Amino acid sequence: MKRLLASCAALLLAAMSHAQENALWLRNPSISPDGKTIAFGYKGDIYRVDANGGVAVPLTIHEAHDMMPVWSHDGKYIAFASDRYGNFDVFVMPATGGTPVRLTSNSAGDFPYDFTADNKQVLFGSARNAPASSIRFPYRLFRNMYTVPVTGGRATLISAAGADVAHYNKTGDKIIFQDRKGYEDPMRKHHVSSVTRDIWVMDVAKGSYEKVSAFEGEDREPVFGNGNDIYYLSEKGGVSQNLFKGSLSDKNSLQQLTHFTKHPVRNLSKSDNNTCCFTYNGEIYTLKDGEQPRKLEVNIFNDGRAATVKNVPVSGNITEFAMSPDGKEMAFIARGEVFVASVDGNFTKRITNTPQQERMVAWSPDGKKLVYAAERNGNWDIYQTTKVRKEEPYFFTATLLKEEPVIATDAEEFQPVFSPDGKEIAYVENRNVLKVFNIAAGKSRTILPEGHNHSYSDGDWSFAWSPDGKWIVTDDSQGYFFMNNAALIPVDGKGKPFYPVNSGFGEGNCKWSDDGKILTWTSSREGRKSLAKQGSREVDVYAVFFDQPTYDKFKLSKDEFNLLKDKEAAESKTTKDSTAKTKDTASKKTFTPDFTNLENRKIKLTINSASIGDYVLNKDASKLFYMAAFEKGYDLWVTEPRTGETKILAKMGGTPGSIELSKDGNSLFVSNRGSVVKVDASSGKITPVSINTELSLNQEEERKYIFWHAWKQVKEKFYDPTLRNMDWKMYGDNYARFLPYISNNYDFEELLSELLGELNGSHTGGRYSPQPVNGDNTASLGLLYDETSRADGLQVDAVIAGGPFDKAASKLRKGDIIEKIDGNAINDKSDWATLLNRKAGNNILVSIYNPNTKVRWDETVKPISGGEENTLMYKRWVAAMRAMVDKLSNGQVGYVHVQGMNDASYRSVYDEVMGQNRDKKALIVDTRFNGGGWLHDDLYNFLSGKKYLEFAPQGDRLKGGEPSGQWQAPSCVLMSEGNYSDAFIFPYVYKQGNIGKLIGMPVPGTGTAVWWETQIDPTMVFGIPMVGTIGKEGRPTENLQIEPDIRVPLRYEEFLQGKDAQLEAAVKEMLQEIK
């Protein structure tokens, strides 16, 4: 018995020893004012630990994500951010633990920075509207600074400068903060550009701002020290981000306190005795003046507040599907796993069960095998699953399955497709080579070599076997950038690719007819196109016929075709009877395509061009089924090419989806919004395919897979194949060690961003999009308020045009006070955002008071969403800029803002420039805070017009001339540090073309095309900058900053009061040019 007890004790000690191991990936440590205790985040909860390390004690244990602890200056309270109500709000609790009090309720997202000097209020940041007097760009990138009482109540605006990570000095009359100028991921490292953060100090009483850092790279996370001392993090040391000590009285006095080389110092806080606390590589350090950094060992008893394994729904989460040859089974992918469901009935079988991703599933012709691509052991290979027991005819009821690799080499293999006879598998190798694998020989041959296609997103190739297995039709860009043509390739490898269409409009989604005598494809040749070259396009389905008889048959009228079918049916019956008697076993003749005169055997199958998702031609080519968006969403349409009769077969109002036709031609299977439905090909009746299962998900293992998947994707797809000569394996191994200490996607998002940030590239980082259920959602009244006022009610500073109160019946005007909402008084004791929670689209009663007339009245309005108000705020900002230019130029200079690099923005630009601005003598093209897209060539051509022809009826010369669709007068481009991606490329090529001047601030070099890849966890996305752009310098433009011809900063004091010095400089330059 004693031995048993001793063994149990040993096991318990071993378990406790494991539980007390030094915890990693500790977030946002904050040291107490007395320097004795540190609060920090771990796995979504707030903990406290002795400043010397030891066992940490949880302060919060909640299913929500709690983070960013901040101490009051007397050490009695801790404020923190939590998403307990669907978005981050500020909470406060006793420093020793207790029930938190919610201080803010606005769904914009609120994050604590500091306490006021008297500890009575919390300073926090929130991305809300700037005041009416400000001309700050209306983007939620910028946070306002507010204070809110620690007992709860109404928030008061301190600054709308867009400050971040702010702290008071001891007397509370100054605030030090880091700025934010643009969209770049906050975890990006080593970049030296105009968008990197700088340190500023605000004089609270004067409302003035002073820049106190000078390095052109990252300076961030500042705190005040004693007297004029300041501490902040900087990459000024040239290797990694470290801790520096500076002085407000002597800006040249800068002392580097830490000298880490591999990873950045982050999350700086400081005690009253100048003990600094920060994280380095996932662990907490402290540093006292004159000493070396000291790493803390933090032990945590935490078995996790959420189950590692959970069940997630499969239904509604299907990403692809494939029907079995007999039409009785449906294979599909959900959350990166392979399943098979019965088409009729409620059977669903999980085929794979791995943390890794499987995709691109396909059936063997006999329906006995499933093949798919799987990323195992860090490599994509082709796997096959078969049923073990012969007495089990279907996968969906199979009890035993056998999985084995079919094509597994050091290369990466994707998109397996069986040949019609089941003897070979076509697949893509390394994303740029098309191969065929002979199963019996176990060998592969190349049929389309490297250099033809360059994959952008995995799985973006389209190819298909001909029914006789002699040809494969495949996308072929022929080495060009995104210009696909259909190539017919002999499967035996003998002969060159043949291009049956080779149109300048390209061919996509090519398919064979059932007999292989027709090839169909989609093309925008005759469809309506976006004004921008890279915008959406309407397409049609076309066909080319590989022999004259098939074409002649297709051209018959419907009546003629029906007569022919009757004749063929009779002949077929006679042939069958004869065959039965003679037992003739002669094989069918092999079809030999006729590639001559194909131009005369091409035809458009669709009657109306449309946005078409997928399509399928029935067996006798008498009907074409396709998903098209003519109305709201995509519906299933059918057209009879012979008659032109076209109608909606099934109203679905869904996503583009994919379509498969059953072998008997009686049913269509269509994917729609994550589900698959069966549609009767004649009546259009919709029957959902039942998915009767859940997926048991190991979240830790899935995150581990996503991490290494991202690491590998970067290695394979980053625009610089050398990865900047960095030790990528070292960084992967380093960050991977934190995975066991991560239990949520907020922390995982940061981990991915830290890893990808090592690349010093744009368009990187992880992105987590939480999906809160019934979270708070603050509605908007379309008003701007005086948020500095502490008086009861909300004083209106502006009525936003197009908002709920911008109505003829409304008497509300600037200066009026909103006293109540739905009878609830607005005062300093509560957050008025609660009165608008989830009220968008619903009528509410607003009680209003005019302080001048002393009149009170009520108005009923319907609030709008925050997103709708954002749109109105953008329009308001553009109108203000336009009015400013008109006033400063006395109507001589036009103005247009390019909101995004997309077709919608280009249409607005064209509409305004060639409409209300066409008589202007010059044009200001404002691209500030444009987040990118693909519009540079359109804008370049539009603004580079040179008149070459005029028109003169009866000798009377008309205005304008050719090129009539281009701007021919002088122009200039306004730009800022916030230009991103293609909004870098446009001013870059504009300057190369010497079209006009660039005015404003430098634009960081971010002109690299990105692939934002959604993960098997659909709430997670990460970015890979894949396609570099090379200009006249002969090098990638990434990190190649554009300098303006006229450099003009936008100062806080000015833009907060409605002055735009950059716009003024642009008007001045244009007036000079048109003198």
Question: pLDDT tens across 187-205, in order?
Answer: 999 999 999 999 999 999 9
Please, are residues 527 and 539 in contact by the beta-carbon 8 Å criterion? yes
Please, are residues 28 and 16 in contact by the beta-carbon 8 Å criterion? no
> For 402-421, what is the mean pLDDT?
97
In terms of average pLDDT, the best of 237-251, 297-311, 578-592, 1007-1021 is 1007-1021
Please, are residues 497 and 476 in contact by the beta-carbon 8 Å criterion? yes
163-182 as b/e: b if 16+ CB within 10 A: bbbbbbbeebebbbbbbbbb
Tell me the pLDDT tens digit for each residue of 974-1033: 999 999 999 999 999 999 999 999 999 999 999 999 999 999 999 999 999 999 999 999
| pLDDT over threshold 60, residue 662 | yes
pLDDT for position 904: 95
> For 314-341, what is the mean pLDDT?
96
The owner of tokens 């507040």 is 305
* Residue type present at position 974: L
pLDDT for position 828: 93
- Which one of 167, 763, 897, 936 is the catalytic residue? 763
pLDDT for position 536: 82
pLDDT for position 140: 87
- Tell me, yes or no, if 1038 is annotated catalytic: yes
Q: Quickly list DSSP for 559-578.
A: HHHHHHHHHHHHHHHHHHHH
- Tell me, yes or no, if 763 is annotated catalytic: yes
* Residue type present at position 745: N
| pLDDT over threshold 70, residue 503 | yes
Please, are residues 52 and 66 in contact by the beta-carbon 8 Å criterion? no
| pLDDT over threshold 90, residue 598 | yes
| pLDDT over threshold 60, residue 406 | yes
The pLDDT confidence band at residue 10, using thresholds 50, 70 and 90, is: very low
- Which one of 337, 375, 787, 1038 is the catalytic residue? 1038
The pLDDT confidence band at residue 19, using thresholds 50, 70 and 90, is: low
SS3 866: helix
- Tell me, yes or no, if 981 is annotated catalytic: yes
Per DSSP, helices labelled H in 914-1060 are: 936-943, 982-992, 1052-1055
pLDDT for position 238: 85
The pLDDT confidence band at residue 1070, using thresholds 50, 70 and 90, is: very high
Tell me the pLDDT tens digit for each residue of 237-255: 888 999 999 999 988 889 9
pLDDT for position 940: 98
pLDDT for position 583: 47
| pLDDT over threshold 70, residue 769 | yes
Q: What is the dihedral of CA 962, 964, 965, 967, to 10 degrees?
A: 90
pLDDT for position 304: 67
> For 492-511, what is the mean pLDDT?
92
Tell me the pLDDT tens digit for each residue of 517-526: 999 999 999 9
pLDDT for position 225: 96
pLDDT for position 495: 85
Rounded to the nearest 5 degrees, what angle is found at the Cα of 228, between the Cα atoms of 223 and 231? Answer: 30
Tell me the pLDDT tens digit for each residue of 81-128: 999 999 999 999 999 999 999 999 999 999 999 999 999 999 999 999
Both structure tokens of 1011:
């692939």
| pLDDT over threshold 80, residue 537 | yes
pLDDT for position 575: 63
> For 127-137, what is the mean pLDDT?
97
| pLDDT over threshold 50, residue 467 | yes
SS3 659: strand
- Which one of 82, 675, 847, 981 is the catalytic residue? 981
Tell me the pLDDT tens digit for each residue of 699-738: 999 999 999 999 999 999 999 999 999 999 999 999 999 9
487-524 as b/e: b if 16+ CB within 10 A: bbbebeeeeebbbbbeeebbbbbbbbbeebbbbbbbbb
pTM value? 0.94
Q: What residues pair up with 974 in beta bridges, in sequence order?
A: 926, 999
Range of lowest pLDDT (208-222, 577-591, 833-847): 577-591
